[in-house]
């Protein structure tokens, strides 16, 4: 069961101007976590697409049957659809979405890349056991107590529609995707904005700085937040994030990627 079934996990599309922005949600999550940012950008003239990744927004059993290639196919299809109506496309990814966004940047023509809470390295050492235990343990429950969350806004967790368990088969796919995309960071040459929070308890402390360092683009920028958790797209500093992303995109409209 999703944590908050009154939220709609369906994809969204806001048609506006000729500049598009693709917003990719996180692991076990769904488009509602990206919708506030999407609405903010759309109100300021950007056409915004928030796709639903394969296996998400339905049941954990569905997700357990998907691969990272399935997730990427969802992103690539949404990108191609957005290109039909937009001359320029920027792509923002949150957590797992950052991995998929970076992979897309290597294989498609993007105007810019926004990596939020980049999950190229994770904090929990138990993730290393997943390849061995995934056939014995199918699902790992999430901690349901919001007081144990790293979110600083006590209402932020209510803005997520996500599964209440982690399918271990899907976690294994996440680890595989990390191994695929980490080396690809050196091939990312589009303008890139990296945003991470020092209070993030999901990704490793070095994940944000290392992601920024490895990106090959000459035009790259880092925004570090000090009053947010992993879910910075809905947390206390989300308005700051939205404004930064909008200003960053606006400054790069019409620029030719390196």
Averaged pLDDT, 143-151: 87
What does the pLDDT look like over 203-214, one tens digit per residue? 999 999 999 999
Token pair 């919001």 is found at 146
What does the pLDDT look like over 220-240, one tens digit per residue? 999 999 999 999 999 999 999
Among the listed residues 166, 94, 163, the one whose alpha carbon sits nearest the alpha carbon of residue 130 = 166
Is the per-residue pLDDT at 257 higher than 60?
no
Task: Please say whether the dihedral angle defined by the alpha carbons of residues 158, 160, 162 and 164, taken in this order, is positive or negative.
Answer: negative
Output the pLDDT for position 3: 60
Higher-pLDDT residue of 237 and 127 is: 237
138 contacts 168 by C-beta, under 8 angstroms: yes
The percentage of the chain sitting over the pLDDT mark of 70, rounded to a whole number, equals 97
- Tell me, rounded to whole angstroms, the distance of Cα 23 from its chain centroid: 7
Is the per-residue pLDDT at 90 higher than 50?
yes
**Structure tokens that stand for 228 in this block:** 């947010």
191 contacts 113 by C-beta, under 8 angstroms: yes
Which domains can be identified in the chain, with CATH numbers?
12-252 (3.40.50.1820)
255 pLDDT band (50/70/90 cuts)? Answer: low
Q: How many CA atoms lie less than 13 Å away from 52 in the CB half-sphere?
A: 15
85 contacts 45 by C-beta, under 8 angstroms: no
pTM across the whole model: 0.95
Is the per-residue pLDDT at 132 higher than 90?
no
54 pLDDT band (50/70/90 cuts)? Answer: very high
Q: Compute the distance between CA of residue 194 and CA of residue 198 in angstroms, rounded to an integer.
A: 13
Output the pLDDT for position 1: 42
**Strand, coil or helix: what is 177?**
helix
């Amino acid at each position: 069961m999703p944590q908050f079934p009154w939220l709609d996990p369906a994809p969204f599309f806001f048609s506006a101007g000729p500049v598009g922005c693709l917003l990719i949600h996180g692991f076990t999550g769904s488009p509602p976590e990206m919708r506030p940012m999407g609405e903010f950008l759309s109100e300021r003239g950007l056409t915004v697409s928030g796709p639903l990744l394969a296996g998400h927004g339905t049941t954990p059993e569905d997700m357990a049957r998907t691969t990272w290639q399935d997730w990427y196919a969802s992103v690539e299809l949404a990108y191609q659809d957005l290109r039909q109506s937009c001359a320029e496309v920027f792509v923002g990814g949150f957590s797992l979405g950052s991995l998929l966004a970076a992979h897309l940047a290597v294989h498609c023509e993007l105007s810019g890349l926004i990596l939020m809470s980049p999950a190229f390295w994770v904090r929990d050492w138990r993730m290393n056991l997943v390849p061995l235990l995934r056939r014995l343990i199918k699902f790992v429950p999430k901690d349901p107590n919001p007081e144990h969350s790293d979110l600083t806004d006590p209402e932020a967790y209510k803005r997520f529609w996500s599964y209440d368990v982690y399918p271990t088969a899907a976690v294994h796919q996440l680890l595989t995707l990390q191994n695929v995309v980490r080396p690809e960071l050196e091939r990312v040459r589009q303008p890139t904005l990296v945003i991470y929070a020092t209070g993030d308890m999901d990704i490793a402390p070095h994940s944000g700085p290392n992601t920024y360092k490895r990106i090959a683009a000459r035009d790259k920028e880092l925004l570090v937040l000090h009053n947010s958790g992993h879910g910075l797209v809905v947390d206390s500093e989300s308005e700051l994030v939205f404004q930064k992303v909008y200003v960053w995109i606006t400054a790069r409209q019409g620029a030719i990627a390196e």
